[in-house]
Amino acid sequence: MTDPFRIDSPTCISFSGGRTSAYMLWRVLQSNGGLPPEAIVCFANTGKEDEATLRFVRDCGANWNVPITWVEYRNDEQGYAVVDFETASRNGEPFEAIILKRNYLPNPVARFCTVELKILVMERFTLNCQNCEWLNMVGIRADEPWRVAKIRANPTGGRKSMYRAMPLNDAGVTIADISDFWDAQPFRLELPAPNGKTLAGNCDLCFLKGGKQIESLIAEKPERAVWWARMEALALASKPDGARFRKDRPSYQAMYDNALNQQDAFGFEDEGIACFCGE
């Protein structure tokens, strides 16, 4: 059986900063005796990741002796900047930049944030480095069948230079395998993960997360909502019809005020919408 983690052609390993993609990276290192010269590891920072995520990305690089390139969206000719743990944005600057450029907020129907802040940024960096066709390894597990099916149906994502591979799915890796691995490691992502799901992972209050999850995260740390509320206020000032991340929920300002005033929960029942930012 072919090892899906073996690399023999130009490859970009997408590292979301979560446990699953970190495990994928570890398996790549084990299968190749380190990082092959034709491979790069990219972490695309939106500026809205939890500080614990940034520390985890740094720690993976240091503990496994693997170079991880940190990239961020920029509204300029190059379209990205290379940063590091010290210089990475922490106040949503890349995310705000694409919102200002688009002049409306991403939402469940128009989820341009993942494409603009992660996929295209890594693609621009990769093409500058390799200038050829390349494989994009993404951390999608065998127990995520709908995500697997979506990529199987469109492995290039409409891009001539890229083909997406899912080695974790090919190897039959599940969330239980990921949890067992991290339970045995000397370091880990310091964010709670009930049932293997990192509630504060990726963008802290991503509008695709379930309402109960968002409300719980704001109650735990109300300041998480400040940036999101400011983006909605900014959008309202310029384009009232696109001034909410979600029109089927209270605004982030309302949820923030509710948490500060210790009011009863809004009673959300909606489930989260899976995003391709990864775990």
Note whether residue 220 is domain-resident: no
Note whether residue 33 is domain-resident: yes
Q: What gap in Å lies between CA 43 and CA 277, rounded to an integer?
A: 11
Note whether residue 63 is domain-resident: yes
pLDDT at 161: 79
Domain at 32, CATH number: 3.40.50.620
Cα torsion 124, 127, 14, 145: sign: positive
Note whether residue 25 is domain-resident: yes
pLDDT at 277: 63
66 contacts 34 by C-beta, under 8 angstroms: yes
Q: How does pLDDT run across 43-78, given as a tens digit for each residue?
A: 999 999 999 999 999 999 999 999 999 999 999 999
Note whether residue 243 is domain-resident: no
pLDDT at 196: 64
Q: How does pLDDT run across 114-167, given as a tens digit for each residue?
A: 999 999 999 999 888 766 788 999 999 999 999 999 999 998 887 777 889 999
pLDDT at 270: 56
Higher pLDDT, 210 or 91: 91
For the record, the structure tokens of 24 come out as 């994928």
Note whether residue 94 is domain-resident: yes
DSSP 215-244: HHHHHH-TTHHHHHHHHHHHHHHH-GGG--
191 contacts 53 by C-beta, under 8 angstroms: yes
Q: Give the list of residues 6+ apart from residue 5 with CB closer than 8 angstroms, or none.
A: 24, 27, 28, 30, 31, 32, 167, 171
Cα torsion 156, 123, 22, 271: sign: negative
What H or E segment, with its residue span, contains residue 13?
strand 11-14
pLDDT at 216: 87
Q: How does pLDDT run across 12-29, given as a tens digit for each residue?
A: 999 999 999 999 999 999
Q: Mean of the per-residue pLDDT values for the chain?
A: 89
Range of the domain at 27: 11-192
Higher pLDDT, 71 or 247: 71
pLDDT at 162: 84
Q: Is the pLDDT of residue 269 over 80?
A: no
| SS3 category, 44 | strand
Number of domains in the chain: 1
CA atoms within 13 A on the CB side of 69: 21
For the record, the structure tokens of 103 come out as 């002049």
Q: Give the list of residues 6+ apart from residue 229 with CB closer than 8 angstroms, or none.
A: 251, 252, 253, 256
Predicted TM-score (pTM) of the model is 0.91
Q: Is the pLDDT of residue 264 over 80?
A: no
Note whether residue 163 is domain-resident: yes
DSSP 172-212: T--HHHHHHHHHTSSS---S--GGG--TT-SBTT-TTS-HH
Helices within 39-158 (DSSP H only): 51-64, 93-102, 112-114, 120-130, 145-153
For the record, the structure tokens of 146 come out as 């709908």
Note whether residue 67 is domain-resident: yes
Q: How does pLDDT run across 184-230, given as a tens digit for each residue?
A: 999 999 987 776 666 667 789 999 988 888 988 998 899 999 999 99
109 contacts 96 by C-beta, under 8 angstroms: no
pLDDT at 248: 87
Q: Is the pLDDT of residue 272 over 60?
A: no
pLDDT at 159: 78
In single-letter form, the type of residue at position 49 comes to E
